[in-house]
Chain A
Amino acid sequence: MSTQPASQGEPVEIRAGKGGPIKGRAWCFGDGISTDLLSPGQYAVDSLEVRKQHTLESVDPRFAAEVKPGDVVVAGRDFGCGSSRETAPEGLKALGVACVVADSFARLFLRNAVAIGLPVLPCPGASSAFSPGDGIEVDLATGEVRNVGLGVVLRSEPLPESMRKILSAGGMLAVLASGRLGRLGAEDDGSRAGAS
């Protein structure tokens, strides 16, 4: 279930994991949004330009056309369950989604989102704290998620530092180019948060 954001505000600033919070407007979805919904198998061989237009079309046919750069997807339990297809987070990123906040994520989606540099945050309770179009602020470093209009703040465990470093590097291909994974591993912060 989703509805488009009610207000069409100014373009928002995306600062993915590099300091300040991500600020945008919420698109709300329910539980079990699968990779088949995010990136339908029929379009597996098509270009990203084609594939992104089918993102979530079975749930909300207007999503791909109406989502604006900087919008934030808020969802329920087990977001991204199903396939290993990286095209699932890739479609959201290509449409300009700044961050996905969900009650919980499927492991592969979480891993793939980090691997392509799409900010994600598991935040139990997020799905019931937002209505479509609500203003949302997400601080990846602290795990704080704010409903701007209601003034409600949810606190979740931030992603482990190793994963946030891959995110802020821009993903695994950027890490490959810089040859830094060994160092990322060595700087393990020991966090037990919901990592993959």
Chain B
Amino acid sequence: MGMTLAEKILARASGKDRVAAGEFVVAEVDLAMTHDIFAAQVFDHLVNAGVTQVFDREHTVVVMDHLVPPSTEAAAEQHKRIREHVARFGIDNFYDAGSGICHQLLPERGHVWPGMLVVGTDSHTTTHGALGAAGTGIGTSEMAYVLATGTLWFRVPETIRFDLEGSLGEQVAWKDVILWIAGRFGSDVAQYRSIEFAGPAASQVSVSSRLTISNMAVEIGAKFGMFAPDEVTAEYLAGLESSGVVEGWQQRFAEKRVEADSDASYLALHEVPLEQIGPQVALPSAVERVVPVGDAVGTVIQQAFIGSCTNGRLEDLAAAAAVLEGRQVDPGVRLIVAPASRWVFQEALRQGIIEILADAGASVLPSGCGPCFGGHGGLLAAGERCIGTHNRNFVGRMGSAKAEIFLASPQTVAASAVAGHIADPRELLPRSVRSGAPRRRAREDKSVYTASQPG
């Protein structure tokens, strides 16, 4: 019997020829990330345990992204403690406040490679499955264990596969596809499982959109949510090398590349018929409460949010700008945009995207997680409604427990911001498309971070 992607990566990481689903292994971790909510506690645990160095400085990354810039005095104190720990432990891969969101920075700055076993103190660490890495979230005690020993226990998960078939319609985003999957199959379809996103249409999905899909794999319970490394992955890594971010991509790609065996065992295979999927909306207050946008059209909103580790990338901002160009946000709506990283912000500036968003009435936040986790920078009052591109709409997620959160694609959120209520982006075609002179094609943007840039 062959092995799935998850089995291959966990076998390699635990020094075994083969492993099978259900087995427990102690595996060597390839990359460990912690962010500003948890880093201080993780390092406190290490200090208390008498640990003086981390397992691998080159593969330990610390990111300030949740409380940036510090939203309270307590947050500022916590950041100060983290900087002291970072200096004490000699962590070189430290991204201070304003650099960006961890799940943007790891792929943007060349930390993630196909075949890696990646852990982070953040549930959305599944994001890195987009590049063919086995990424998953862990807690602070386990991260302390990882940083001390470089190892952690794992149960080898069963795998379910979603085969993407056909092609996407106009103004439909890959975000809509992962929302559709959550709605169709439920929030625990992949509980304790690994997911492989495959099928003939997988090669049509950009790295940016793969990051969106793998990011939300955790919302249907997944431990990993992976795309097998392919030509799209190779092109992304080659781009990182061209811009000076990484070196020797071809050799590393050849060494690390993993494929599922043709006779690997899957717990379930599901077809995802892309032609049948239009814009989707997750209703309050569960990610699986997904309906076609038409069923939610007309719901009045007070806030629209474009950002987060799910949909704060250049492709997402461009898709929103294509809808917002030449239009105005409804006076009853606060449109908040948070680019996923400083580089995304800079590139969006260079491409004129920020100007379009600002002209339409958007407020642009520093790169970070603020509103998405209800930390700061866009919280909701009782009775208010927000539609956002982020990943969770649980009760109390963005402030008041009596507020309501809807999840959708950047296109749908932008269209809704203009309308003042939830709207179908297909009924608000980009002005540039209507005039016959497209200003840009969002889905084909292949820009990558360039090493000479600040920040």
Contacts and interface: CB of A to CB of B under 8 A. Distances in A.
A192 B157 CA distance: 10
A127 B132 CA distance: 38
Given A58-B401, A160-B155, A176-B144, A86 B24 contact: no
Interface stretch (B146-154, B199-207, B258-266, B273-281): B146-154
A49 interface: no
A85 B137 CA distance: 9
Interface size class of B (residues with CB under 8 A): 35 or more
Given A41-B375, A104-B188, A195-B192, A181 B137 contact: no
Given A32-B286, A107-B221, A192 B22 contact: yes
A84 B26 contact: no
Nearest to A31: B286
Nearest to A194: B192
Interface stretch (A2-10, A17-25, A138-146, A167-175): A167-175
Interface in A52-93: 57-59, 77-78, 81-86
Contacts of A107: 191-192, 221, 223
Interface string B131-145: 000000111111011
A36 B49 contact: no
A106 interface: yes
Contacts of A171: 141
Contact of A188 (B24, B72, B392, B396): B24
Given A34-B392, A108-B123, 18 more contacts: A42-B374, A44-B37, A45-B75, A58-B395, A78-B188, A84-B125, A85-B139, A86-B140, A104-B188, A108-B137, A112-B142, A115-B139, A160-B24, A185-B26, A190-B22, A194-B191, A195-B192, A196-B192
B89 interface: no
B99 interface: no
Q: Which 3 pairs between the two chains have the least Cβ-Cβ distance? A: A86-B139, A185-B26, A58-B401
Interface residues of A, number: 49
Contact of A82 (B75, B151, B392): B392
Contacts of A160: 24, 155
Contacts of B148: 176
Contacts of A151: none
Given A36-B392, A45-B78, A194-B192, A112 B374 contact: no
Contacts of B153: 162, 166, 181, 184-185
Contacts of A41: 373-375, 396-397
A111 B24 contact: no
Interface in B135-182: 137-142, 144-145, 148-149, 151-153, 155
B394 interface: yes
Given A82-B123, A107-B223, A195 B395 contact: no
Contacts of B218: 108
A76 B355 CA distance: 48
A172 B188 contact: no
Interface in B104-123: 120-123
Contacts of B74: 45-46
A181 to B, nearest CB: 6
A59 B395 CA distance: 9
Given A37-B396, A42-B375, A82-B123, A195 B144 contact: no
Nearest to A185: B26
Interface in B20-49: 22-26, 37-38, 45, 49
B67 interface: yes
A83 B373 CA distance: 9
Given A36-B374, A41-B375, A185-B26, A78 B396 contact: no
A183 to B, nearest CB: 10
Contacts of A78: 187-188, 191, 221
A116 interface: yes
A135 interface: no
A149 interface: no
B252 to A, nearest CB: 28
A127 B187 CA distance: 18
A104 B149 CA distance: 31
Contacts of B396: 36-37, 40-41, 58
Contacts of B379: 42
B400 to A, nearest CB: 9
Nearest to B76: A45
A111 B142 contact: yes
B24 A84 contact: no
Q: Tell me which of B66, B151, B397 has the highest count of chain A C-beta atoms within 10 A of its own C-beta.
A: B397
Contacts of B140: 86
Contacts of B72: 45
A115 B141 contact: yes
Contacts of A115: 138-139, 141-142
Nearest to B119: A84
A85 to B, nearest CB: 7
Nearest to B400: A58
B57 to A, nearest CB: 19
A81 B75 CA distance: 25
A44 B49 contact: no
Nearest to B286: A32
17 contacts: A42-B399, A45-B37, A45-B67, A45-B72, A77-B188, A82-B392, A85-B139, A107-B223, A112-B138, A172-B144, A173-B141, A184-B153, A185-B24, A185-B153, A192-B22, A194-B192, A195-B24
A83 B149 CA distance: 24
A107 B16 CA distance: 25
Interface string B266-297: 00000000000000000000100000000000
Contacts of B66: 44
